[in-house]
Structure formats: structure tokens, C-alpha cells
Amino acid sequence: MFRSLRRALCAAAAALLLPLAGAHQAHAAAAPGAGYWHTSGRQILDTAGQPVRIAGINWFGFETGNHVVHGLWSRDYKSMIDQMRSLGYNTIRLPYSDDVLKSGTMPESVDFSGGKNADLQGLTSLQVMDRIVSYAGQDGLKVILDRHRPDSGGQSALWYTASVPESTWIANLKALAARYKGQDTVIGIDLHNEPHDPACWGCGDQATDWRLAAERGGDAVLSVNPDLLVFVEGVQTYNGVSGWWGGNLMGVAQYPVRLDVANRVVYSAHDYATSVAQQSWFNDPSFPANMPGVWDKYWGYIFKQNIAPVWVGEFGTTLQSAVDQKWLAALVSYLRPTSTYGADAFQWTFWSWNPNSGDTGGILKDDWSTVDTVKDGYLASVKAPLFPGTGGGSGGDGGGGGDSAACGASYAVSSDWGSGFNAQVTVTNTGTAALKSWKVTWTWSGSQQITSMWNATYTQSATGVTAVNAAHNGSVPAAGSTSFGFGGAPGGGAVPSLTCTAT
């Protein structure tokens, strides 16, 4: 709701507890996530029938006048995707506008100095998207394409405008489905971002009924690539009850989306805090205890009644107010911790990676490099395993033959201000079998002490440190890598020698 403000700012620069579907698989298959996906009840399953959890991030820009993801004016795109992976995000939601499908649309504000983004020089916006999809797949991340806007000028209430008719929307959905057919890094398409008034659900008016339009758009996608998931957002108002733009899925109970290919619909809700707009539930005396009931009413019931998977495609906040902090903690708990529920949980992609989202900020700070570890830390319990990468193979199931598990680790200081420093450790699978878990040890030559660590847990005794993987990044495919970061003090220390052990 009230999202045009943020978009303008961006452009300027117990439920019913069901057993795990797939619990019948007594023998383990390869790491979950391979191939194309489908739905079964409230879960998303991979090509082998294993449940998966989308735990990802929005990286916007293709929908703006830059016609490319933001931040490439500062960094190489590969380093950004590597950093997403290192933080444990396994999926990228890529917003775009129909402008990028126009012939000859070129990206703007991409820095090629110092070798950055060298392989993007001379490419169109769509060709840059190809490179991002390809590299994300190599890194073990999936991609959801999000038709965010009809054009780069701004968000639209309906899926069409006077200048971008429904026929263009349909044609472009089919073009993208065809473009990435056979590349299972792209698991699906979010048909249109945040439909809102006068968009309705189930009213029967062909011009405004988003549910009927989603059926037309979804069938168009599946006519080209029947393996894709179709992500359908809600509306703003249903039967006189209003909520966030795209966040009201109350109509699904009576009017579900029906597609020609079964088991492809994932419903998507958006939810925000007061840094985006005020809502009545934030002023409820029982807040935040009232929030699960609010989410149940608008979209959570779809998951809890085993109707279909639910993906919270956007949620975010500047995290500056106490209300917003309580909201985010409550929402993360509602989404269900991975350590308790595994993939039998809500799917999600956080808004946003970008720091230049005017009313939420991002996981990155304004330098496009430093991580907001507080904001990222709120999401730790709902992060999920990465998926098999396309670069080095999935490593199989580690079963037999001559496969062996081994790893190496490298250490790089990202910033040092004398009294303290930040560093990142990259763990690489150097063996022929997938890692199930790992630990890294080192000894400092000075008096350094760790003050905080993310994406791993640690113990330190005198100058000796042992870091062990977090729940979401212990699995690393052959030739794949992951990373963790930490803060320490004092700065100025020498880089230690690391030992990595596959456990």
C-alpha cells in the first residue's frame, strides 16, 4: 500500500501442523532444490519430490529508468551475488518493467572501471539479466522474475495501462518464459506486482478482476514453459476489507486461481511496517500479539489450511522504530523457523538488497558493500539451505564410489579502522562430494578478539578461534562455496593461516 512513494525514491538513484510432504522418502536424494519445482498442498517440491524453502532477497532496478539492477555503479554484479550467497539467501526476486523487453533497451549507470562488470559491456538490459540468471545459478541461487511495472514510470493498480495493454503483458510474459526455458535457475514468474484498487478478486469484471487476469497470464506462461511456478499476489480490498497493496488474499478461499497445469500456483502476499505506512493493527493495544491473527486473515490461512504455498514476496522496514522492530520479530516467528519446521514453512524474499529503497532501506548499507548485520540478523532463523549450483554440479548424495569431502578457506579483511575490523571467510568445497557441514580454525598472532559473527557460530580460547557453519550454509556442493563474516578488535592484525575441516 502507498508504494508509489518508495518506487519513485528508488528510481531516482498453530496452526494445522501437517507432516512434511515427502516424508515418505526414506532414502535421501541429492541436496534439495534441483530442477524445476511444483507444489503439493502448502509445500513447494523439487524435481525429486523433496520440499524446498525460498529464503531470498529482492534486488531491484530493472523496473526503473536504469533498466538494470541497482548498485552496478558501485560493484561488480558477481561480487553482489556471491555476497548474497554468503549471507544465506538462496533466491533472488528480480523486479522488471516491460520496458526492458523493448528492442535495444540498454542499461544505464554501470561502472566498468577496474575490470568491474567487464562481461556486461555492450549488452542490452535483457542480456544483462541473462548474465545475472546464469551466475546466480552457478552460485546455487534460484531466480523469480517479477513483472513489477508496465513501464519504468511507476507502479500501476492494474496489470495493464493505456500504453501497455493486456496483450503486451501476455506477450512479454510468454517471451520471458520462452527465453529461460530449460534454465531451471528461473523457477517462476510473479505475474504483476501489488495489484490495488480498483483491482478486485472474484468480482467477475474482466477489466478489473485480478484473479481472472492471473489465470489468463498464468496459462500464457505455462503454455510456453509448463514447468514454471506461477506466483500470484493478492489485491488491496476484498469485500470491503482493505490491507496492503498486493497483500489481501482473502478471496482465495472462495475464488482460487485455476490454471491449465496443476500444482503450479504459489500465492504471494506483501507486508510492511510503519516506515512504509501506518495501519490500524499497529495501534491495537495488544500489538504485537495481534499480528498472527491479522496475517491469518489476509493470507496465512491459505498455508494453514493446506490450500497452497504462500510466499511473502516483499516485507521490509527501516527498523528505526520500536514498533517496526516488534513487527519484524513477530513476522519472522510467524514465518516459522527452519530449524523447527524445515521446508514446511512460509516462503519469503526480503525487501530489499538495495540500500536505496526510500522507506525501508536494505540489507546493504549506503556504501553498497557493508551489511546491516542487525537487520540481516532478524532473518537468521528463517534462512534455509542453498540449492545445488550449476557451475560445479550438486555433488550427488555423498553415497559411495570414490567421492570424498574436503574444504579450504580464505580470509579477507573488508574494513579496518584501527580499534576494530570486519573480515570475511570464504569456505570452498575442494572435494568431490557435497559438504554436509564444516568448521574453520585459526590462531591469531596478536590479541584480536571476535566481537560478533554472522552466518557461523564460534568459540575462542585465547588466540585460537573455531567457527562452525550455521544451519543454512553447512551444505556446500562440490566446487561450490559459502562464507561467513565477523567483527573483531583491535584492528591491524596479520592475516592468520586457516584450516578447514569437513565434518
Which residues carry out catalysis? Answer: 194, 314
Non-local CB neighbours of 363 within 8 Å, separated by 6+ positions: 57, 87, 350, 352, 353, 371, 372, 375, 376
Phi and psi (nearest 5°) for 95? -70, 145
E strands, 182-264, in order: 186-190, 229-233, 237-238, 241-242
- CA 213 to each of CA 77, 99, 217: distance values in angstroms, whole numbers, following the listed order: 34, 21, 6
Strand order in the sheet with 43-45: 38-40, 43-45, 51-52
* Secondary structure class of 128 (helix, strand, coil): helix
Antiparallel, parallel or unpaired: β 310-316 and 347-350: parallel
Cα dihedral 76/80/82/85 (nearest 10): -170
d(CA 24, CA 332): 29
* Secondary structure class of 329 (helix, strand, coil): helix
108 forms bridges with which residues in the sheet?
none
* Gyration radius of the chain over CA positions: 22
Select from 131, 18, 139 the least CA-distant residue to 72: 131
How many other C-beta atoms are found inside a 10 Å radius of the C-beta of residue 15? 13
Longest alpha-carbon distance in the chain? 72
d(CA 308, CA 343): 14
